[in-house]
């Protein structure tokens, strides 16, 4: 395969935190490593350079991709600025492929201009659909744009796209992959314990997904209220929100509710919420005896599942969206019903009480990742799609 020039585009990139952002920090360097040139057009973040590099990839930041700014400013009369930004970006990258992430939502004007430019320049336009939505804008931008191909992050997302009227042949499922050398069972936890002394001597139940109702944070809090009766040393550790794209402006309201729940059940000694850096996450997975992700929404996939399993920490998820595509009940974790905090509590208690079960599920989980979800497998699958699209397949 010839070496490619790839224009990647997404609304956010670190220090913005999120699943797509983390995915890009894995994919871009892997493409660079294989000799391809990569440029990413993304949202501006205060304090960050407008032009930068990340492990060999060129990063271009613009306020026109900052969703938090756009929701305040509105999308009117931006066509000229967006067109100029795209032209400047493409003049620098000179792409063979344009690969966008989640641009089948949020803004019609951004993707319509891009579609026209892609067509005029004869450059294939590939979408990775990390999410689906239930409204007219989603249908319009998913079906109405002439995508050369669509990558779906799960079979669940593929099914939803087909339900919106897309041709199955135009969709390829590529599960996320992770760096198994970063997320592994032998990570030292000295630094995280030094920074957060409250974690010392506690039996950690880790909820790694960002805080929100859709992620089942309220279910986790209700479950730990039951778990503590049998395991008073248990501590629910939750990842707070900082530097996220909050398009619907719902985070503040959700967090206020969680704080009220903690007060209601008097759980201040059993729930610990803080913000953790990407570097600290592998330590937390290793410190945890159980990870939980009781999503109440149809989760597209969930990188945290892979990170947990790669660290040999069993994970409990709900039977929603793409989560059961990785977690198999009583094989590498547990799958429970939505909002069933009692079963969640029982599963947590079982894992805390049975080290042999924890080990069995953890060993199988690590093997699941090594066999199917490494960054190398994911990157090869992406390059196969690029090759197919460029060769007209």
Q: What CATH number does the domain containing 316 carry?
A: 3.40.50.2000
- In tens, the pLDDT along 168-186 reads 999 999 999 999 999 999 9
* Helix pair angle (303-310, 355-372), 10° resolution: 120
- Inside any domain, residue 206: yes
d(CA 71, CA 249): 9
- Inside any domain, residue 183: no
Q: Do 285 and 380 fall within a single domain?
A: no
Q: Do 338 and 351 fall within a single domain?
A: yes
- Inside any domain, residue 72: yes
pLDDT at residue 342, as a whole number: 99
State the burial class of residue 251 (Cβ atoms within 10 Å of its Cβ: 0-12, 13-18, 19+): middle
Contact partners, residue 349, CB within 8 Å, separation at least 6: 226, 227, 230, 231
Cα angle value 73/78/80 (rounded, 5°): 155
| Percent of the chain with pLDDT strictly greater than 70 | 97
Q: Do 141 and 12 fall within a single domain?
A: yes
φ and ψ at residue 163, rounded to 5 degrees: -65, -25
- In tens, the pLDDT along 303-317 reads 999 999 999 999 999
Q: What does each C-alpha distance from 81 to 1, 48, 77, 110, 212 come to in angstroms?
A: 35, 21, 9, 10, 34
Q: Do 368 and 383 fall within a single domain?
A: no
Closest CA to 103 of 87, 94, 91, 115: 115
- Inside any domain, residue 185: no
Q: Do 230 and 171 fall within a single domain?
A: no
- Inside any domain, residue 253: yes
Q: What is the largest CA-CA distance in the chain?
A: 65
pLDDT at residue 241, as a whole number: 59
- In tens, the pLDDT along 13-41 reads 999 888 899 999 999 999 999 999 999 99
Total domains in the chain come to: 2
φ and ψ at residue 276, rounded to 5 degrees: -120, 140
Q: Do 168 and 249 fall within a single domain?
A: no
Q: Do 145 and 54 fall within a single domain?
A: yes
- Inside any domain, residue 239: yes
Q: Do 122 and 256 fall within a single domain?
A: no
**Given phi > 0 = left and psi -120 to 50 = alpha, else beta, which region is 266?**
left
Under the banding of pLDDT at 50, 70 and 90, the label for residue 292 is: very high
User: What's the pTM?
Assistant: 0.92
φ and ψ at residue 82, rounded to 5 degrees: -65, -45
- Inside any domain, residue 242: yes
- Inside any domain, residue 260: yes
- Domain coverage including residue 324: 190-372
Q: Do 381 and 358 fall within a single domain?
A: no
DSSP bridge partners of 272: 237
The Cβ of residue 55 has, within 10 Å, a number of other Cβ atoms equal to: 11
- In tens, the pLDDT along 116-140 reads 999 999 999 999 999 999 889 899 9
pLDDT at residue 239, as a whole number: 86
CA 155 to mean position of chain CA atoms: 16
Q: Do 102 and 146 fall within a single domain?
A: yes
First to last CA, the chain: 14
Cα angle value 76/82/83 (rounded, 5°): 125
d(CA 103, CA 111): 6
| 3-class DSSP state of 305 | helix
Q: Do 268 and 212 fall within a single domain?
A: yes
- In tens, the pLDDT along 229-267 reads 999 999 999 987 555 544 445 567 888 899 899 999 999
- In tens, the pLDDT along 134-175 reads 889 899 999 999 999 999 999 999 999 999 999 999 999 999
Q: Do 238 and 345 fall within a single domain?
A: yes
Look up residue 329 and give its DSSP letter. Answer: B
For 155-194, b where at least 16 C-beta lie within 10 A, e where not — what string? Answer: bbbbbbbeebebeeeebbbbbbbbbbebbbeebebeebee
315 against 76, higher pLDDT: 315
């Amino acid at each position: 395969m010839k070496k490619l020039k790839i224009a990647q585009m997404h609304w956010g990139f670190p220090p913005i935190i999120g699943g797509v952002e983390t995915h890009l920090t894995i994919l871009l360097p892997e493409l660079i490593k294989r000799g391809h040139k990569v440029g990413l057009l993304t949202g501006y973040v205060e304090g960050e350079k407008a032009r930068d590099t990340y492990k060999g990839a060129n990063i271009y930041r613009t306020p026109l991709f900052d969703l938090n700014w756009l929701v305040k400013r509105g999308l009117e009369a931006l066509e000229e600025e967006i067109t100029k930004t795209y032209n400047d970006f493409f003049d620098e990258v000179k792409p063979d492929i344009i690969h966008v992430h989640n641009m089948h939502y949020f803004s019609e004007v951004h993707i319509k201009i891009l579609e026209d430019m892609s067509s005029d320049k004869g450059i294939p336009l590939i979408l990775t659909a990390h999410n689906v939505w239930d409204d007219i804008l989603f249908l319009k931008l998913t079906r109405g744009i002439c995508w050369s191909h669509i990558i779906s992050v799960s079979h669940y997302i593929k099914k939803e796209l087909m339900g919106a009227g897309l041709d199955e042949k135009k969709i390829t499922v590529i599960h996320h992959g992770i760096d198994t050398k970063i997320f592994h069972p032998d990570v030292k936890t000295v630094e995280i314990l030094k920074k957060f002394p409250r974690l010392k001597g506690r039996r950690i139940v880790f909820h790694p997904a960002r805080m929100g109702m859709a992620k089942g944070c309220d279910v986790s809090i209700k479950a730990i209220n039951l778990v503590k009766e049998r395991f008073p040393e248990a501590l629910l550790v939750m990842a707070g929100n900082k530097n996220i794209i909050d398009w619907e402006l719902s985070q503040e309201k959700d967090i206020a509710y969680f704080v009220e729940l903690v007060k209601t059940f008097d759980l201040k000694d059993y729930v610990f919420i803080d913000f953790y850096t990407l570097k600290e996450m592998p330590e937390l997975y290793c410190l945890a005896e159980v990870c939980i992700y009781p999503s109440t929404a149809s989760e597209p996939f969930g990188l945290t599942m892979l990170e947990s399993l790669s660290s040999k920490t069993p994970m409990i998820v709900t039977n929603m969206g793409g989560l059961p595509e990785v977690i198999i009940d009583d094989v590498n974790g547990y799958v429970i019903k939505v909002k069933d905090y009692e079963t969640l509590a029982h599963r947590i208690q079982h894992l805390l009480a049975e080290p042999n079960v924890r080990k069995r599920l953890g060993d199988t989980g690590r093997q699941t990742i090594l066999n199917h979800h490494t960054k190398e497998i994911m990157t090869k699958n992406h390059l196969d799609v690029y090759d197919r699209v460029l060769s007209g397949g």
